[in-house]
Amino acid sequence: MSSDLSGHFHDMALSMFVAYKALLFNETPVACIVKNTKTGEVTSIGYNYTNTSLNGTQHAEFIAMQRFKDQDVNYKDLVVYVTVEPCIMCASFLRQLGIGKVYYGCGNDRFGGTGTVLSVHDDPNLGEGRYESIGGIMRTEGIQLLRNFYIQENESAPQPKIKKNKEIETKEFPRNEFKFSEDQFIENYGKERIPLYNDGVKELTPVFGKGYSVHDLIDISSVKALPYLEQELGEITQDQLNEFCDLFFNIHDNGEINYDKPIRKYNAKKRHLEE
């Protein structure tokens, strides 16, 4: 009965920031961090690397776990915080490694392999390695990062194609559906949050009954402390962190999204954010 989810939100916010750095690097903004539950240490990060590598299998989970390839590590001790539900490929990969647990932000409607399209993580027909995959922490932020990537594609096309999709500063989010059982929901998010399970509109917050904004979740020192990030995706500045936080709505105390907050969107052409 873990009713204070602040730790999970902190870790997921770190992943979201890694995803933003990937976006600045012209990659799809999906990312993860890997935490060792025995030591509490973040031991790896990963981000989508398919564009740079020309390899469609280089998803965030692969980049993160490949670092352990020649190490003696007990995968059962590892928890992955990933901004988007693992795809079918990654869900199977993590199962074959014997991962401890997955937390994800938003569901993956096209390829989701841990509950949305298939349930590779706990399909009893696939042999060993079943694991729990729990979604919904920072769901809207995970979606908003992807939207910032897709509008950028449209805007860099010679002639913008679908204008209505560009208005992501006001666009509402799809319904919040949890793709795991009510028992798992209670066990992971606490009994008091159970009205959210079938609500569809409200979002999880770190402390029940209290809203949040991404600003509150991470600071410059916590993102600078992430392993591999600055070496691989460049220096992190306070301006970058502020720009990142400005991409998102905040969440009210009752779990509703504050669509009235003016947010920014990322513009690749200008290489900075525009109002």
Partner 1 sequence: MKTSKNSENEHVNLEQGILYGVLKQIRANEDQISEKPTLVSVWYCDINPKDTQKIVALIRDHLTDPDPVSLTHIKRFMKVNECIRSILCSLEYIDEGKLINLIHEHCPGVEIRSVGLIEVPRYAPQTKDITQAWSSKYWPLAWKGNPNHQFLNTVEFDISREEEIVSTLLDELEQCIKKSKDSSDCSGVSATLIAENINDSIKLKTIHANTGSKTPYDHSVMKAISSIANNELHRRKHSSQEDGEGYLCHNMIVYTTHEPCVMCCMALVHSRIGRLVYLQGTPPTGGLESNYQLGDRDGLNWKFQIWKWIGQNEVHRLESLVGKESKAINY
**61 belongs to the catalytic site:** yes
User: Please, which residue, 109 or 192, has the CB nearer to partner 1?
Assistant: 109
For residues 68 and 79, the answer to whether their CB atoms sit within 8 Å is no
Distance from C-alpha of 80 to C-alpha of 103, rounded to nearest angstrom: 6
Compute the C-alpha angle 30/59/116, nearest 5°.
70
For residues 117 and 85, the answer to whether their CB atoms sit within 8 Å is no
User: Tokens 């998102």 — which residue?
Assistant: 248
For residues 86 and 133, the answer to whether their CB atoms sit within 8 Å is yes
Task: State the pairing for strand pair 78-84/31-36.
Answer: antiparallel
User: Please, which residue, 17 or 49, has the CB nearer to partner 1?
Assistant: 49
Helix 139-156 vs helix 6-24: crossing angle, to nearest 10:
10
User: Please, which residue, 66 or 237, has the CB nearer to partner 1?
Assistant: 66
User: Please, which residue, 125 or 231, has the CB nearer to partner 1?
Assistant: 125
Q: Which of 28, 68, 24, 62 is nearest to 46 (CA)?
A: 62
Residues that bind partner 1 (CB under 8 A): 53-57, 66, 69, 87-93, 96-97, 110-111, 113, 117-118, 120, 123, 125-127, 157-159, 161-162
User: Please, which residue, 82 or 91, has the CB nearer to partner 1?
Assistant: 91
Helix 6-24 vs helix 238-245: crossing angle, to nearest 10:
110
Minimum CB–partner distance for residue 163 and partner 1 (Å): 11
Minimum CB–partner distance for residue 193 and partner 1 (Å): 31
Minimum CB–partner distance for residue 114 and partner 1 (Å): 12
User: Please, which residue, 16 or 34, has the CB nearer to partner 1?
Assistant: 34
Q: Which of 127, 128, 121 is nearest to 103 (CA)?
A: 121
81-105 as b/e: b if 16+ CB within 10 A: bbbbbbbbbbbbbbbebebbbbbbb
Q: What length does the chain have?
A: 275
Q: Which residues are registered as beta bridge partners of 34?
A: 44, 80
Minimum CB–partner distance for residue 156 and partner 1 (Å): 12
At 177, list the tokens: 């559906």
Active-site annotation, residues: 61
